[in-house]
Amino acid sequence: MIDERRLREAGAVLAAESARFASMGWMRGTSGNLSLTLDRDPLRLAVTASGFDKSELAPEHVVLVDGKGDLLPGDTRGLIPSAEAGLHARIAAVTGAGAAVHVHAMAAVEAGFHWPEGVAISDMEMLKGIGHSAHGERVVIPVVQNSQDMVELGDRFEAVYRRPAGGIAEVPAIIVASHGMYAWGEDVAAARRHTEITEWLLRFTVRTRAR
């Protein structure tokens, strides 16, 4: 059974985040998507619906999906989950994330093009914002090849996801080649912060790369 009040509350949160990222040019038109994890057992996520301009997203433009990213029965509004809902569900299941963000930031696409094996970053103060030291660490943002099959793309994500002691990933973000980036966190604020900081780090790395 769908808790419509709870879903609408999640929609209001995602609509605000969507407007924020659209204003940065990272969610142009209907591109990009966001999710909130509402339940763990079984896994349930509020995900932005397909086909809506992200600068004008409304609280009702979200749907409830299961652990595979499929629309739960009972929603009679005719909305369709984002085509990438399945990857959001996999990220939530594997990382324990409470929220995930997918944007088409140009810096991520450029970085994935230049460093298809992963984008190495070190000695940057902003690394603190994604859980690392400003100096003395070499952090790698993984890059995976794109796929329209979310199971296949999820497998690629899981293959490069780091699980050191403590269960924290090396970085809470991944680049999908020729597409964009995903970032996640324990809640919406953390997912937003990780998205913005990772984009900044990628933009700097692209701009200063050896010609």
pLDDT tens figures, 24-47: 999 999 999 999 999 999 999 999
Q: Which two tokens stand for residue 23?
A: 């204003």
Number of domains within the chain: 1
In whole angstroms, give the CA distance from residue 9 to residue 59. Answer: 7
The reported pTM is 0.92
CA atoms within 13 A on the CB side of 178: 4
- Rounded Cα distance, 168 and 171, in Å: 8
On the CB side of 50, how many CA atoms lie within 13 Å of its CA? 13
Please, are residues 185 and 99 in contact by the beta-carbon 8 Å criterion?
A: yes
- Predicted pLDDT of residue 4: 85
Residue that is written with structure tokens 């002691």 in the block: 165
pLDDT of residue 210: 66
* Domain membership of residue 47 as a residue range: 4-207
Identify the CATH number of the domain in which residue 112 sits.
Answer: 3.40.225.10
pLDDT tens per residue, range 132-165: 878 878 888 999 999 999 999 999 999 988 655 4
